[in-house]
């Protein structure tokens, strides 16, 4: 049993032990091109949270990873079969209940490890921070922690080379041959401000991508995935250590 994973802990162990930081991985259930599973974001969240916590734990940080929330915001994919959507308002209610439990039991630090681009927890943490001002509520997008161009050749943000390589490394049995994958070609908005990324409108996924992918996965390899996984979990472990060590009133200098 790994003591930094709540799903593997027992009441005997936790009756007196207290953690310093809780990590809540949050993923999504959605199509990932023709070659990756619907649970891609969740497999990534599980593995990155667990490995980041392991590295943090071995440095003496009392961190616990909560079970991954497997559904995310998929409002732009309503016509993609079995892409499961949670509205942001539903996410807030779920998150609010979890924060309430942690607060009541004296665990005052929470890291939301986000594994899905459609999730946006910043407005929720602003609201919850007013209700629980003594808590440290942090969110991170692990997929933005590194410069992906140092590890991968093709750009993308969904079922792309990076995600394909990660799942090839973590769960090779779940990846179909890459010759079956679509090219992940993305149609760009006709609106200049949206193309330039200073304006925003939700992408209607079935109009943007024929295969549900954004980014060509064909150059992915398990070795690229392994290198990236090691590097990104080091970054997460650093964040975990910083959050565990910081004291109230000493966040800024």
pLDDT tens-place string over residues 169-198: 999 999 999 999 999 999 999 999 999 999
Q: At a CB cut-off of 8 Å and minimum separation 6, what does 150 contact?
A: none
pTM of the model: 0.97
Find where tokens 């919850």 sit. Answer: 128
Task: For 119-172, write each residue's pLDDT tens digit.
Answer: 999 999 999 999 999 999 999 999 999 999 999 999 999 999 999 999 999 999
Q: Which residue spans within the chain are E strands per DSSP?
A: 21-26, 63-65, 109-114, 136-141, 156-158, 214-215
Q: Which sequence spans correspond to the domains of the chain? A: 6-11+18-242
Query: Would you say domain 6-11+18-242 falls under CATH 3.30.470.30?
Result: no
**Alpha-carbon gap, residue 128 to 179, rounded angstroms:** 46
């Amino acid at each position: 049993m790994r003591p930094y994973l709540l799903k593997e802990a027992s009441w005997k162990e936790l009756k007196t032990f207290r953690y310093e930081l809780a990590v809540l991985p949050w993923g999504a259930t959605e199509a990932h091109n023709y070659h990756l599973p619907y649970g891609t974001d969740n497999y990534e969240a599980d593995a990155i949270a667990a490995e980041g916590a392991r590295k943090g734990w071995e440095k003496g940080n009392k961190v616990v990873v909560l079970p991954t929330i497997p559904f995310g915001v998929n409002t732009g994919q309503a016509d993609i079969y079995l892409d499961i959507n949670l509205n942001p308002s539903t996410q807030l209610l779920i998150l609010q209940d979890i924060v309430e439990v942690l607060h009541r039991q004296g665990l005052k630090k929470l890291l939301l490890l986000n594994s899905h681009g459609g999730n946006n927890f910043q407005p929720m943490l602003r609201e919850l921070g007013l209700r629980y001002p003594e808590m440290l509520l942090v969110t991170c997008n692990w997929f933005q922690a590194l410069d992906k161009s140092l590890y991968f050749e093709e750009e993308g943000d969904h079922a792309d080379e990076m995600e394909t390589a990660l799942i090839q490394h973590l769960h090779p049995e779940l990846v179909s041959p890459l010759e079956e994958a679509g090219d992940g070609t993305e149609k760009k908005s006709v609106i200049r401000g949206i193309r330039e990324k200073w304006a925003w409108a939700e992408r209607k996924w079935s109009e943007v991508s024929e295969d549900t992918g954004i980014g060509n996965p064909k150059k992915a390899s398990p070795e690229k995935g392994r290198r990236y996984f090691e590097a990104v979990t080091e970054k997460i472990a650093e964040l975990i250590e910083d959050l565990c060590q910081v004291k109230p009133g000493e966040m800024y200098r």
